Amino acid sequence: MSFLISPAYAQTAGAAPGAGLNWVILPVFIAIFYFLLIRPQQKRQKDQQAMLSKLASGDEVVTSGGLLGRITEVGDTFVTLEVAEGVRIKVQRTQISQLVPKGTLKSA
């Protein structure tokens, strides 16, 4: 009966399909990650630092907490804001999120 069944012989292993493709895909994903996530974040950070360095008395700003006020005094680490007539608060300079056009405080 064994003459009907042919013997099975081991074959040599071939290269895995697409093995060389991994070395191409990895740098492509790194480049996409850089241009879509890292680079825009660095640009926003650079713009924020430039805005903070140019703060001056009389500028109207919004803090990260949502307070709208006019800068009355600028220090190295703190800024004094006038949020209402005669009401002044000190906030950290880094908590200023954006400059708003002058006159915004009167219309708010």
Task: Say what the pLDDT of residue 22 is.
Answer: 74
Residue 2 has pLDDT above 80, yes or no: no
Q: What is the pTM of this model?
A: 0.66
User: What does the domain layout of the chain look like in residue ranges?
Assistant: 22-54, 56-108
104 backbone φψ class: left, alpha, beta (φ>0; ψ -120 to 50): alpha
Among 71, 72, 67, 64, which Cα is nearest to 97's? 64
Note the pLDDT tens digit of each residue in 6-30. 777 767 665 566 666 778 888 899 9
Number of Cβ atoms within 10 Å of the Cβ of 75: 10
Instruction: Name the CATH topology of 56-108.
Output: SH3 type barrels. (2.30.30)
Note whether 77 and 93 are within 8 A (CB). yes
Note the pLDDT tens digit of each residue in 79-104. 999 999 999 999 999 999 999 998 88
Q: Locate the DSSP E strands across the chain.
A: 60-63, 68-74, 78-84, 87-92, 96-100
